[in-house]
Chain A
């Protein structure tokens, strides 16, 4: 066997293998992003373009999908439309061009609002409770700490569908069915396990010396917590909050089963953005795009913390 004088260590790849690796990875990244690109493009297609076959790559962009998404329209005869006063706004014009009259806002706005309210509400509550508990686990000798922490983690192992059955009954009985406060409480309970594990990791990384110094100087434990630990934990709290927000934003099963309309968020609603006598793909795509956009932004903002977040703080770079 011919001997290669000094084999390159595995950690130092050659320029050639670097370029090959780059090509493969970029190829995968591009292919993997194509579905999202297609949906984004569909949001700007007209209905005819969206259901054209073979599928259209080049098309004339329009905001029809977005108008359909946010308004309720009725189909009217052209004679009736001719008798109406001329359209006031750009979206009315778009509707009139297709023989439709805008009758009012659609229920998408409510759903978006619910996603925001329930998302932020549960995030703030979960982060608040999580920070407190994480601090306690990190700094104090809590009896049965490992067991308690594992218990907190195990609550995430339960299939949501399984827990949904008794929670449904409990909520019906308590009058929390289809209420925003009910959903906020539920999401908080699910998020708090993530928050505790993540924040414990972050707080563990804050050296204890600072608090101890403060304690020596007569600060109470609570004051030390507020004045010394919290400011240093701000990054961790922010990262944790965003992960909690992402979960609440994306959640589908609980919201589907425990709400009917007043507290319904976007995910259960998106498949049912139905158009006039047909599946309105541009409107569904528009709703999907708008809904996924914050997540894309958050992912880019959080990219340094993603690893920690998806493993509940078990793995840190």
Chain B
């Protein structure tokens, strides 16, 4: 019985300890530090390197919170919504701008920019509109363009150079085997490679985004749909979607994407986004890969498929357009942060031309004109020319405050048709228009 009392009191002590540990939320002693939040990928690691310079200059320690892409939006939008001060700075997705502005998640930066002579003209216009402005095309800035990104393509240059393949292709299609310039050419090349045996294994023509949960398949399909006639709304009638979203051209674009998926995607990749694409390309499984330019520095240096073996091309054009999906993020100050002044100091440091250059050199992607449009850049890395060209032809998804349901609806309808063979592309887009009308009604906008 004495034993039971001791065990009981031990148990109580352990329990109290556990609960105290639980109850004590982050009671870390704060020196001077800033927490920067972003997604977990190659460029984030480069940023960690870059930030060492900031710490050296100001003595402020930089802490980083990186979250995988699949939970990036969920996690941080939740955080911002609950006005947590866990992040001082955040590199938020371009789509969050609307919500951030209207819910005052970010600090508005106009005054700060004016006072510190930071001009938006020094950045590529597409990045200013995409990563900083809300409402769009008005001079209201909620972030500093931080990471310029767009969808691009990589291809196995060494395979394209094989004489026997070149001969075979020429005989079949009556033109040279080169990186495709249109989606029709893309389909031809992809079908050509699918099923061939190269270096001892069966290969497939292409890899495209098919991820269902967050944004993957939408970020992929738009690259086809934009160029066949899809748009979000009538440019002359804001929020008017019927006939624009579900035009015949838009449906054709979706069909083309589906064709590419069915013919030439490696098996099992029905819910795949960025990392699976990198895996497929690096393991020699595909001839061409769709992915974000953000990964191209790493791919170029890859021991297996980099160097001479890799080539890059911009998103192919279509009959109705020559666009590519905009990626990238802007750097913003979280309004609920407890260190707003220090955070602004970081922004000032980040905006400096030398830092912008160093950012690109380390593996990031500055949006600054001085960096991107320089001759030095054009010749520095093999993907530079197509990247600069891509950044000039970008189109972005909705950035409305309610962009999440808009995105989820599109994810749903597109995946159902492209991967799960449900209905037709026209039916899917008609349903999508209905979905989107419902969402806009909730937001209080009543489009016709």
Contact = CB atoms under 8 A, between A and B. Distances in A.
B18 A117 contact: yes
B19 interface: yes
Interface string B270-306: 0000011011001100000000000100100101000
Nearest to A272: B68
Nearest to A103: B48
B1 interface: yes
B339 to A, nearest CB: 18
Contacts of B422: none
Given A124-B14, A124-B18, A74 B45 contact: yes
A87 interface: no
Nearest to B18: A121
B283 A51 contact: yes
The residue among A177, A230, A274 with the most chain B CB atoms within 10 A of its own CB is: A274
Nearest to B5: A226
Contact of A181 (B22, B86, B201, B303): B22
Nearest to A227: B1
B78 interface: yes
Interface string B30-47: 000000000011100100
Interface string A55-77: 00000000000000000001101
Contacts of A278: 275-276, 278-279, 282
Interface string A159-187: 00000000000001000011111011000
Nearest to A77: B301
Interface string B5-32: 1011001101100110111011000000
B408 to A, nearest CB: 16
B32 to A, nearest CB: 19
A227 B1 CA distance: 6
B82 interface: yes
B279 A279 contact: yes
B380 interface: no
Nearest to A271: B70
A121 B298 contact: no
Contacts of B282: 278
A274 B25 CA distance: 27
Given A177-B82, A278-B282, A125 B15 contact: yes
B79 interface: yes
Contacts of B301: 77
Nearest to B71: A272
Contacts of B8: 230
Contact of A272 (B4, B18, B70): B70
A150 to B, nearest CB: 29
Contacts of B176: none
Nearest to A180: B22
Interface in A108-148: 117-118, 120-121, 124-125, 128
A74 B48 contact: yes
Interface string A167-211: 000001000011111011000000000000000000000000000
A184 B18 CA distance: 9
Nearest to B23: A181
B45 A75 contact: yes
A311 interface: no
Given A74-B45, A230-B4, A277-B295, A117 B21 contact: yes
A172 B83 CA distance: 10
B22 A260 contact: no
Given A120-B14, A121-B19, A261-B65, A279 B275 contact: yes
Majority-rule SS of B interface residues: helix
B49 interface: yes
A124 B11 contact: yes
A234 B71 CA distance: 43
Contact of B22 (A74, A99, A121, A277): A121
Interface residues of A, number: 38
Interface in B237-271: none
A76 B15 CA distance: 45
B298 A277 contact: yes
Interface in A201-245: 226-227, 230-231, 234
B75 interface: yes
B367 to A, nearest CB: 22
Contacts of B41: 277
A37 interface: no
A287 to B, nearest CB: 13
A124 to B, nearest CB: 3
Contacts of A30: none
B11 A51 contact: no
Contacts of A117: 18, 21-22
B106 to A, nearest CB: 18
A125 B19 contact: yes
Interface string A269-301: 001101111110000000000000000000000
Nearest to A116: B18
A260 B84 CA distance: 11
A121 B17 CA distance: 8
Contacts of A118: 22
Nearest to B46: A74
Contacts of B12: 124, 128
B4 A172 contact: no
Contacts of B201: 53
A120 B15 contact: yes
Given A230-B4, A278-B278, A179 B71 contact: no
A110 B19 CA distance: 16
Contact of A128 (B7, B15, B49): B15
B21 A180 contact: yes
A307 interface: no
Given A260-B78, A261-B65, A262-B25, 18 more contacts: A53-B201, A103-B45, A117-B21, A117-B22, A118-B22, A120-B18, A121-B15, A121-B22, A124-B15, A128-B12, A178-B82, A181-B22, A183-B22, A226-B4, A234-B4, A272-B71, A275-B275, A277-B295
Q: Would you list the 6 A-B pairs with minimal beta carbon distance, nearest first?
A: A180-B22, A124-B15, A121-B18, A272-B68, A74-B45, A231-B4
19 contacts: A51-B279, A74-B45, A121-B15, A121-B18, A124-B11, A180-B25, A184-B19, A230-B4, A231-B3, A260-B79, A260-B84, A261-B75, A272-B67, A272-B70, A274-B40, A277-B275, A278-B275, A278-B278, A279-B279
Interface of A: 51, 53, 74-75, 77, 99, 103, 117-118, 120-121, 124-125, 128, 172, 177-181, 183-184, 226-227, 230-231, 234, 260-262, 271-272, 274-279
